[in-house]
Amino acid sequence: MDSHTIITVLAIGLLVLIGLLWIVWKFFFKLFKYFVIALMVTIAGTGGYFYRMRSYRDPALGKHAYLTENGKYLGIVEASGEDNQRGKVWLIRPPGRYPLMYSKSRVTLKDKREIEKEPKEGTSPTPSASPSASPKKGKR
């Protein structure tokens, strides 16, 4: 084969390759546009679904509440809200009762309940001096 034939075959091959690439690019670009649109719609729909389905949970819900002044156990936090008189409040359910409303500034929250030490069975509490235990002095 002479050089003129090789150059002609290479030129024809190059033109065919360029034509095929051009056709594939045109076809791919049309599909690519629809693929990008479908992908954007899918992402937006998925995001909207998860946004609507996720439930916002306050991290304080389920914690144990104690009065700030004296450390008295109040109960378990069920909800939070706002009251016209008290401001921001916790809705707290004491054991065996209906929920009560406490101002957030008066309540301390803890993860675990601290059970106070109770006297064991069989032991008597230690006597303490109290005004009622002393004998009364009366007029004679």
Domain boundaries, the chain: 1-54, 64-110
Residue 121 has pLDDT above 60, yes or no: no
Distance separating alpha carbons of residues 100 and 82, to the nearest angstrom:
13
Higher pLDDT, residue 133 or 36: 36
Taken as a whole, the chain contains a residue count of 140
pLDDT in the model for residue 119:
46
Buried b / exposed e over 78-87, threshold 16 CB at 10 Å, is eeeeeeeeee
62-83 average pLDDT score: 89
| pTM of model > 0.75 | no
